[in-house]
């Protein structure tokens, strides 16, 4: 029971870290979108430097959005793997219970 509690606590910490990473990426994406919006309004001056900044911000934004999608995909994969592991664990526990019941039945005969 103590081991399960420790595993659950470790899982909670892991999920919290993943949530923090996701929120950080989402914040960075929002900041990039805001910066990009400001620079687009300044774009009318056709300043080469501003156009370069806009291009760089668009690239950063695409990279951050891709990172967020990758993180979501990884999280989804981990959740599926965890469910599969839990199912296997439940099946193994049930098999142990069945064997235990069978052994106790045999020994009482």
Rounded to an integer, what distance in angstroms lies between the CA atom of residue 63 and that of residue 29? 9
Per the structure, the complete domain to which residue 81 belongs is given by 2-108
CA–CA distance, 107 with 109 (Å, rounded to integer):
5
108: confidence class by pLDDT, cuts 50, 70, 90: confident
Residue-wise pLDDT tens digits, 45-101: 567 777 788 788 889 889 989 988 998 898 888 888 888 888 888 888 898 888 888
pLDDT of 66: 92
Residues 55 and 38: their CA atoms lie apart, in Å, by 13
pTM of this prediction? Answer: 0.56
15-50 pLDDT, tens per residue?
A: 888 888 888 888 888 888 888 888 777 656 567 777
The distance from CA 68 to its chain's CA centroid, rounded to whole angstroms, is 9
**Would you say 3 and 42 are in contact if contact means Cβ atoms under 8 Å apart?**
no
Gap between the Cα atoms of 28 and 20, Å rounded: 12
Question: How many CA atoms within 13 Å lie on the side-chain side of 11?
Answer: 12
The reported pLDDT for the residue numbered 37 is 82
Is the four-CA dihedral 86, 89, 91, 94 of positive or negative sign? negative
Give me the pLDDT at residue 46, please.
61
**In total, how many domains does the chain have?**
1
Contact 40, 61 (CB under 8 A): no
């Amino acid at each position: 029971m103590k081991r399960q509690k420790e595993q659950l606590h470790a899982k909670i910490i892991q999920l919290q870290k993943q949530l923090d990473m996701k929120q950080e990426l989402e914040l960075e994406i929002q900041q990039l979108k805001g910066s990009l919006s400001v620079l687009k309004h300044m774009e009318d001056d056709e300043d080469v430097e501003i156009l370069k900044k806009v291009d760089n911000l668009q690239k950063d934004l695409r990279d951050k959005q891709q990172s967020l999608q990758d993180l979501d995909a990884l999280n989804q994969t981990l959740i599926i793997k965890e469910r599969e592991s839990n199912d296997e664990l439940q099946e193994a526990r049930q098999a142990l219970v069945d064997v235990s019941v069978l052994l106790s039945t045999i020994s009482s005969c």
